[in-house]
Structure 1
Amino acid sequence: MLLFASRHSGSDIELQGIILFLSSVIGSCSGSSIGVCYGRNADDLPTPDKVVELVKLQNIKYVRIYDSNIQVLKAFANTGIELMIGIPNSDLLPFAQFQSNADTWLKNNILPYYPATKITYITVGAEVTEAPSNISALVVPAMWNVFTALKKAGLKKKIKISTTNSLGILSCSYPPSAGAFNSSHAYFLKPLLEFLAKSRSPFMVNTYPYYAYRDSPTNVSLDYALFESSSEVIDQSTGLLYTNMFDSQVDAIYFALMALNFSTIEVMVTETGWPSKGSAEEVDATPDNAHTYNTNLIRHVINDTGTPARPGNELDVYIFSLFNENRKPGLESERNWGIFDPDQTSIYNLDFNGRAPVDVTTETNATNSNGTWWCIASSEASETDLQNSLDWVCGSGNVDCSAVQPSQPCFEPDSLISHASYAFNTYYQQNGATDIACGFGGSGVKTDTDPS
């Protein structure tokens, strides 16, 4: 993670900062969004249809997958959930070599499921500049072939094409105004940025404040990485004030784009998050920190806060990831970025609507010594959210809901909120009466008053 770098001249940067600000004010904004990455590099994952149930329960509207798995595409049909699908690095060569390969892939893997499955983005390759073999030269030719295939099918304006990049594509990232792409990637970047500008597609980047903090804790405070800092870091070249590492990393990309005269390209964050468990040296990879980071991130994004260089600007972000993935190599943290374990047990509770408090305890049992806590349905939850949660609890949640069926003891009062409260509390008590067992995407609330 690059934290420090040389600066441009002050006058140039000041002018660039003004241009960025004006472009953010003039540009239209349709609202930022939060999605989640659905990786499948793990054992005993739930079937795709069960994953869809879980995603709906959490009110997640945007999902990124890393290939075009047919069973996954089928499972998301008619849900309204928007999918970003991927073409893996291992498949780049045939896509780059022949137009017919892209045409055939689109015909067999996309068109049979679209538009019932709402595919909005295709990523061609992932972090190719970090790949051990030099495959980056294949990316843009493959993108053009996929674009041509979409054009033939009349979908070039409905499905956008890009590729995901690591923050390591920058040679400088601090201060943000010094953001600059690594010149060694110029042969890849120039045609890529030209493609993105012409197709009006976003520059996709994976940003991880966790690594910036872990690798340089003397220069990056934990609070700054977690959106919890009470002080500000000033970019002396622009006067812009930063209260978190995430904004600093995103703005470094914006300044790097502007330095190459591609300021019209928007940035999309395709991965970010915080691990809940790490190796011995990764002491801050904890459920509490993961919960804090992602909760603050969600609030920051959905409030259309933007970044200091692009205040109020739309920013779409995907949290990594839905599940812990035990097949991944490396340090322990690599396998523990998930919100859920593969058995669908919550690692910590996240409210994708941004309503949950940040300081909810995620590790300890929250039931008091007398066992007088219950979990009930929130009166502020929508009927749709309650019904989705109720369906999940009585299905994948393994709660016996026969008692709320007609003529059964807990059927009355016959209302959705009453039936949901019965199911929520049963699930809550069966799963240790912890805070995370009363989440339900913000539809559940704890009470010390006996709801019966």
Structure 2
Amino acid sequence: MASAFKLLFAVSLFTLLLRFCRGSIVGVCYGRNADDLPTPDKVVELIKLHNIKYVRIYDSNIQVLKAFANTGVELMVAVPNSDLLAFSQFQSNADSWLKNSILPYYPATKITYITVGLEVTESPNNASALVVPAMHNVLTALKKAGLHKRIKVSSTHSLGVLSRSFPPSAGAFNSSHASFLKPMLEFLAENQSPFMIDLYPYYAYRDSPQKVSLDYAMFESSSEVIDPNTGLLYTNMFDAQIDALYFALMALNFKTIKVMVTETGWPSKGSPKEKGATPDNAQTYNTNLIRHVLNDTGTPAKPGEELDVYIFSLFNENRKPGLESERNWGLFYPDKTSIYNLDFTGKGVLDMTNSTDGSKNGTTWCIASSKASEADLQNAIDWACGPGNVDCSAIQPSQPCFEPDNLASHASFAFNSYYQQNGPSDVACSFGGKGVKVDKDPSYDNCIYLTAGGINKTASSNMTATANTSSSAHTDVCSWICVFLLTTLIAVILNTGNVFHVSF
């Protein structure tokens, strides 16, 4: 009996540490405000087909929970705004909901988060005063079931919860929400739950195209926005908005709360005045977002910080009111066909079987455009060799690709390295219009350009580069360390008979 307990303890600790080692994740929001959607079991088949491991739903629908049983997909479920009054008034309501709507399906259905309320400060009937009491009652119900360490409780918010988001270092919460925010932040800090935010750079671009460039909104900018207070450099709006939240949290002395993005994305269709809502732009934004998140680069204020992000949304939802874009955020049509291609591994969109560029065996390279200015090329090189995580050692002095010593040559090598490492696609060769795809190998002398799969044969490096290098390296090393430490710990526990008391 003692040995069985020790083994169970070791396995539990192993699982916990591996969770800490998982790195950033990308999930999808599964909204159902639409006609003719597939049945939940068909949706689960679609999700598994596309290797989606994390899903957010907006209620606790029984059929959906049943469909996700034994899939391994981590599910975020919700207490909708309409239930906040009942949940905040009586503990018994939260207890009954957990007993009837969650426990019958757990743990076969892997529920990891419960969101209490949806953007309450934006709702017509401001129910913010009900959120924290409801959160406490849900947490108490989880404690009674012994699940409060396995299922985290939080609430989702819009960026409107901030009164200021630029520059990021001046990020501040709206004082009109102070009576609601302070106890909620105390709850999150005490229970190690994340601050959940719904971020949409698309709206910033749509509403202020003169101030926010399309490239900056879509992770495509080769120039930088400088925070005058910190000197931090921002190449995309997403990072700036995340850091504004972190600075707002730090201003209130909540330095341990992590940020989780529970919604972000880009619409594929809009009304006439929404010219940025196109399938190409949606694909570009989400592809760059996935790559950015899974690289674990963090943000300028939080370099290397893990960030969990959920893309909105799985399907177009035709019942939604408002402008045309509101009904066109989906990755799929109701018949499960893709609106545009998206790869959730972070390697980019790659379809070598249907090459239309006329290249031999579909092989292409990415080089600098002859029309690009030297200033633009220098900015692009700085980005590729910095945040882009390209190994640019080959274009340093005395290395195989340094000569000819000019920006066009150096940029071509950097562009191609990024292009191949991130899955050859139009998006990965964009560089704000400074990159062009070619079907002729630009390699020369001992300077060998990367090809698909990331193989570089330059004399300066005998290492094989792979797509999503930073992310995979982080995950592999961290997982290896976890495995080593836990294997050692299990051996110590089982062989010596010592049992450590650890509170989870």
TM-score tier (shorter) = 0.7 to 0.9
Cα drift, residue 92 of structure 1:
0.5
Q: Which amino acid aligns with 1:178?
A: A
Q: Corresponding residue for 1:238? A: 230
Cα drift, residue 134 of structure 1:
2.1
Cα drift, residue 351 of structure 1:
0.3
Q: Corresponding residue for 1:36? A: 28
Q: Secondary structure at the match of 1:142?
A: helix
Cα distance in 1 for residues equivalent to 2:198 and 2:172: 16
Cα distance in 1 for residues equivalent to 2:349 and 2:220: 13
Asked if 1:227 is matched to 2:219, the reply is: yes
Cα drift, residue 373 of structure 1:
11
Asked if 1:185 is matched to 2:177, the reply is: yes
What is the TM-score with the length of structure 2 in the denominator? 0.66
Q: Corresponding residue for 2:289? A: 297
Cα drift, residue 356 of structure 1:
2.1
Query: 5 Å matches for 1:240-255?
Result: 240-255=232-247
Q: Secondary structure at the match of 1:333?
A: helix
Cα distance in 1 for residues equivalent to 2:245 and 2:21: 19
Cα drift, residue 354 of structure 1:
1.1
| Paired-residue identity, % | 79
Choose from 85, 109, 116 the match for 1:93.
Answer: 85
> 5+ residue gaps in structure 1?
1-27, 361-365, 375-434, 436-452
Q: Corresponding residue for 2:194? A: 202
Cα distance in 1 for residues equivalent to 2:343 and 2:125: 40
Choose from 250, 253, 264 the match for 1:261.
Answer: 253
Distance 1:259 1:46, change over 3 A: same
Q: Larger radius of gyration, structure 1 or 2?
A: 2
Distance 1:104 1:288, change over 3 A: same
Q: Which whole-Å deviations, capped at 9, do the CAs of 1:173-198 have from their partners, x for residues lacking one?
A: 00000000000000100110000001
Q: Corresponding residue for 2:376? A: none
Choose from 96, 99, 102 the match for 2:94.
Answer: 102
> 5+ residue gaps in structure 2?
1-19, 363-425, 427-504
Supply the RMSD in Å over aligned alpha carbons: 2.0
Asked which structure has the greater RCO (Cα within 8 Å, sep 6+), the reply is 1
Given that 1:140 and 1:191 are in contact with CA atoms closer than 8 Å, whether structure 2 keeps it comes out as: yes
Cα distance in 2 for residues equivalent to 1:44 and 1:184: 41
Cα distance in 2 for residues equivalent to 1:154 and 1:356: 41
Given that 2:342 and 2:349 are in contact with CA atoms closer than 8 Å, whether structure 1 keeps it comes out as: no
Q: Which whole-Å deviations, capped at 9, do the CAs of 1:123-172 have from their partners, x for residues lacking one?
A: 00000000111210000000000000000000000000000000000000
Q: Which whole-Å deviations, capped at 9, do the CAs of 1:291-340 have from their partners, x for residues lacking one?
A: 00000000000110111110000100000000000000000000000000
Cα drift, residue 355 of structure 1:
1.4
Q: Corresponding residue for 1:53? A: 45
Cα distance in 2 for residues equivalent to 1:105 and 1:285: 39
Given that 2:156 and 2:198 are in contact with CA atoms closer than 8 Å, whether structure 1 keeps it comes out as: yes
Give the paired residue count: 342
Cα drift, residue 255 of structure 1:
0.3
Q: Which whole-Å deviations, capped at 9, do the CAs of 1:396-419 have from their partners, x for residues lacking one?
A: xxxxxxxxxxxxxxxxxxxxxxxx
Cα distance in 1 for residues equivalent to 2:248 and 2:220: 27
Cα drift, residue 367 of structure 1:
7.7
Cα distance in 2 for residues equivalent to 1:355 and 1:164: 29
Query: 5 Å matches for 1:24-173?
Result: 30-173=22-165
Query: 5 Å matches for 1:330-345?
Result: 330-345=322-337
Cα distance in 1 for residues equivalent to 2:153 and 2:21: 20
Q: Secondary structure at the match of 2:28?
A: strand
Cα distance in 1 for residues equivalent to 2:334 and 2:123: 27
